[in-house]
Structure 1
């Protein structure tokens, strides 16, 4: 398992919300779904993504856009177009003042719009996930990113578009898996682009030495790794490994391992009722005390405090 595999494992779609909206110019959608991550594409037409704090971003037919939430944004034919529809959590469509009365009408399953032949056809899906592992992926992404149609697996979006308009048994699971596939192919295409400024852990995966060490750390983070054993596995000296790993990833091998272990522990503390002792051993610490010391040093709070914050949010 590589680093991206690990991060995406915590970002699988589950109960994703899908919309297909068909409109004619001038058109704009105000998206307030508050999802951690949204993915959209245009089956017809072109559009602008408008969001506070960034310049408007252009997308053409077939391009795929990923928007990091939860702040709202606008998708429209022009940056200045006033939104006619507001998309709420759960995909609920609200007509806004001045909108044609039929813009929020259902044209079919998960489909809204005035007429099927409208000039713009936008398909979107949202991810509902949280946790520290997923957070590492989100932190590597800009507020809005667009991958040109030529760089993504277009047939994935085409098939997802067809599935959105179906109403068959198990349809939600089918759509979730298509959304997963669309996200993976889009992210790989994005990170491969020069302007993505891909994080060090992604670029380093292609390095024969550092990439192999990253895979070892992610395949078995609980193993009692030492810099000596990692260097032996990579067939380089300890000094060479430390220098090369730090240059490519941005931190030393053992510091990276500590950060990854604490990330895994944080998710387990929030998502399970396992004892701190059990979590400690699962992520590579000898006992609860050792995990607590490392957790407090990295996160500034104890594992117990971190877990209680989850309980307060759930209350």
Structure 2
């Protein structure tokens, strides 16, 4: 498992909010949902996206924008159009005066807008929750990424546009997977760009020594790793591995392993029927006590507190 896999494996990977917006100008949406990550793909027409303090960015057909929360932003037909609709937490839609518009702007299955046939059509996917693993990736992203059509090759957008209006058995699962594919394809394309400030551990995956060591640690955290054992698997000396890993990743192998184990554990604790003992074994700790001590030192709370607090957070949208 790496950060991209972890991004799709968290509690927010299933049942993400997905909508097709059909809009005629003038229109302007003030997005205040504070969701960790939102992706928007323009199918037809033009849109502009802007965070406060930043220059507006245009979006044309085939372009994809990734917006990172919790900061608020505006998506509009023009940079000069004042907000008309506010999208709040839980995707509650109101006018700026607070009048609900969800029903009046409904245009059918997963379709919303101010007209049935709009000049602009956008597909929007919003992940309302996140896991600790995915935060290792999301936290290093800029708050706005724009991938222009022609800068990358992704056939998912037309397929998602075709599937989003269907109401068939298993459709939610189909849409979730398509949305996941679109997000990962866009993030991989962006992270591979020379101008992207990709985290050191992501760039290190391309190295034949550090990259292989990273994959071994991430995929097998339960193993009793030492630098010597890891060097033997990679096929280099212990000193060579320690030097190369620390240079490329930014920390020694065992320090990375400790952080990864405790990051992984934070998400595993949220799985159904998870216990402190079972999670401790999965991430390579010999006893629940040792694991709990390390977890509290790293996360600032006990495993039990983390589990109960995060599960309560995930229940809030369902009960509101």
Fold-level similarity (TM above 0.5): yes
* Other structure's SS at 2:107 match: strand
Q: 3-state DSSP class of the match of 1:122?
A: strand
Aligned twin of 2:224: 224
Task: Tell me if 1:132 matches 2:132.
Answer: yes
1:21 aligned onto 2:21: yes
Larger deviation: 161-170 or 180-189?
161-170
Query: Aligned equivalents of 2:194 and 2:125: distance in 1?
Result: 26
Q: Which residue of 2 aligns with 1:160?
A: 160
Q: Which residue of 1 aligns with 2:211?
A: 211
- Structure 2 gaps, min length 5: none
Alignment-derived partner of residue 190 in structure 1: 190
Cα 1:93–1:110 shift into 2, 3 Å: farther
Of 64-73 and 112-121, deviating more is 112-121
Shift of 1:96: 4.7
SS in 1 for 2:269: helix
Deviation readout 1:73-95 (Å, 9 max, x if unpaired): 21012222112233345545434
CA distance in 2, matches of 1:311, 1:190: 32
Distance 2:119 2:178 in 1: 25
> Counterparts of 1:109-148 in structure 2 under 5 Å?
109-148=109-148
* 2:160–2:178 Cα contact (<8 Å) kept: yes
Aligned-partner Cα distance in 2 for 1:309–1:87: 26
User: Counterpart of 1:80?
Assistant: 80
Contact 1:38-1:127 within 8 A present in 2 as well: yes
Greater mean alpha carbon deviation, residues 262-271 or residues 168-177: 262-271
- Alpha-carbon separation, structure 2, partners of 1:140 and 1:111: 32
Distance of 2:176 and 2:5 partners within structure 1: 17
Give the Cα separation in 2 of the matches to 1:109 and 1:31. Answer: 21
Measured after TM superposition, the shift of residue 11 of structure 1 is 6.7
Distance in 2 (alpha carbons) for counterparts of 1:128 and 1:2:
21
**Structure 1: runs of 5+ lacking an equivalent:** none
Moved more, 83-92 or 42-51: 83-92
Going from structure 1 to structure 2, the CA distance change for 1:194 and 1:286 (only over 3 Å counts) comes to same
- Cα gap change, 1:51 to 1:157, in 2 (>3 Å): same
Distance 2:168 2:194 in 1: 41
The residue aligned with 1:235 is 235
Residues 41, 63 of structure 2: 8 Å contact kept: yes
Q: Residue 311 and residue 189 in structure 1: after superposition, are their counterparts in 2 closer, same or farther (change >3 A)?
A: closer
Q: Deviations over 1:284-305 (max 9, x none)?
A: 0111222133223323433344
Q: Aligned-residue CA RMSD in angstroms? A: 2.7
User: Secondary structure of the residue that 1:188 maps to in structure 2?
Assistant: helix
Count of residue pairs brought into register by the alignment:
313
